[in-house]
């Protein structure tokens, strides 16, 4: 039902946080970060690999950016969580996240490719501040068609007194200038972060978010009806233990969300990062104002057997013939994190009557 492939595995380094785009030629372009370890960013760089056979085999990885080395806790910058999008004008755009622990500043830069990921422009800084950026989402319909949106989250303060903000920026001139930030979510008592935006066929925008209290809470969502300029109050959504949701619309009109499942409780790497899921829902559930008015169908994609398991940041695309291809990272039988690909179809999630 689910086919699995190796996108990149280099046992000498930690590979994680991938995303993938599908170009008009049918090429898959995957970006990811490599580092000393998830918990050690003394070396980081963003990498890119491509596939011309629907993700069955992949090119050798190559650097997308210049490597960063140093001591992040002493103020040296490091890379984190790149994203990639296929634009309507034929270009690819990658968002690369550069962070500094010392002052909690996390800047986001964009790079473009006009040759299916072979070469890239130099990174250009955006005003987007925060970590775990979303893809550049290019709106397709309505009065804001052509608008680009992306967002990130940041937190301020310490421990239980820390406040969390999910914020979005938008551009109406293809990234030349940006408006924002617009607050999507900032709720006392909730640690909302890692937002993923999807444009619904009915014109609304929905951002799905992780709740980071480590209590196994479901995803939260906010809705915009004006192209991302204002947002509804967040409501919980029935994706329990949802970390790093990545949402998009399938050919059928259903919405698919890939995400890591984290049950919460004590621990971090190795304790509650073993499971990687794909879920489907519908427009009505995305717009529902209450948890009990929404429904989801959740399918396991992978399980990490490693004693220091670490998995579940992902990206995905769908081919014209319906095949879905997902990328994520995992430890499992390797000494370090590596990138896997997953192929399946909508009927693997649900056989319609």
pLDDT of residue 143: 95
In this predicted model, what pLDDT tens digit does every residue of 293-310 receive, in sequence order? 999 999 999 999 999 999
Per-domain residue ranges for the chain? 3-349
- Percent of the chain exceeding pLDDT 90 equals 89
Q: Does domain 3-349 have CATH number 3.40.50.2300?
A: no
Task: Read off the pLDDT of each residue in 164-170 and give the average, rounded to a whole number.
Answer: 96
Confidence of residue 104 (pLDDT cuts 50, 70, 90): low
DSSP 139: P
Distance of CA 96 to the CA centre of its chain: 12
DSSP 140: -
Would you say the C-alpha torsion 173, 175, 180, 184 has a positive or negative sign?
positive
Confidence of residue 14 (pLDDT cuts 50, 70, 90): very high
pLDDT of residue 132: 95
Q: What are the DSSP E strand ranges found in 212-352? A: 219-224, 235-237, 242-249, 255-261, 275-281, 297-303, 314-318, 324-330, 338-344
Alpha helices in 214-296 (DSSP H): 283-287
pLDDT of 103 above 60: no
Q: Which of 97-111, 213-227, 289-303 has the lowest mean pLDDT?
A: 97-111
Chain-wide mean pLDDT for the chain?
95
pTM of the predicted structure, to 2 decimals:
0.97
């Amino acid at each position: 039902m689910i086919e699995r492939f190796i996108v990149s595995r280099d046992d000498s380094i930690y590979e994680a946080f991938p995303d993938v785009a599908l170009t008009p030629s049918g090429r898959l372009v995957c970006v990811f970060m490599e580092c000393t370890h998830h918990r050690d960013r003394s070396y980081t760089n963003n990498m890119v690999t491509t596939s011309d056979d629907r993700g069955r085999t992949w090119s050798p990885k190559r650097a997308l950016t210049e490597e960063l080395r140093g001591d992040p806790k002493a103020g040296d910058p490091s890379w984190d969580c790149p994203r990639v999008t296929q634009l309507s004008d034929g270009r690819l755009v990658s968002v690369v996240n550069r962070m500094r622990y010392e002052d909690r500043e996390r800047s986001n830069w964009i790079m473009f490719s006009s040759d299916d990921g072979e070469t890239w422009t130099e990174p250009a800084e955006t005003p987007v501040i925060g970590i775990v950026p979303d893809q550049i989402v290019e709106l397709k319909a309505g009065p804001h068609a052509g608008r680009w949106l992306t967002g990130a989250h940041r937190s301020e303060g310490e421990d239980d007194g820390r406040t969390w903000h999910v914020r979005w920026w938008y551009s109406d001139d293809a990234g030349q200038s940006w408006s924002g930030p617009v607050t999507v979510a900032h709720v006392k008592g909730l640690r909302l972060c890692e937002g993923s935006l999807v444009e619904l066929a009915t014109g609304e925008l929905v951002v799905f978010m992780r709740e980071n209290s480590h209590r196994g809470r479901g995803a939260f969502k906010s809705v915009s009806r004006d192209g991302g300029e204002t947002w509804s109050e967040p409501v919980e959504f029935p994706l329990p233990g949802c970390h790093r949701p990545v949402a998009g619309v399938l050919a059928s009109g259903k919405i698919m969300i890939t995400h890591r499942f984290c049950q919460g409780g004590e621990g971090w790497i190795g304790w509650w990062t073993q499971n990687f899921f794909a879920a489907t829902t519908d427009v009505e559930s995305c717009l529902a104002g209450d948890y009990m008015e929404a429904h989801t169908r959740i399918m396991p994609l992978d399980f990490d057997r490693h004693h220091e398991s670490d998995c579940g940041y992902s990206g995905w695309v769908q081919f014209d013939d319906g095949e879905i291809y997902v990328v994520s990272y995992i430890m499992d039988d390797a000494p370090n994190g590596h990138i896997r690909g997953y192929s399946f179809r909508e009927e693997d999630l649900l056989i319609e009557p």
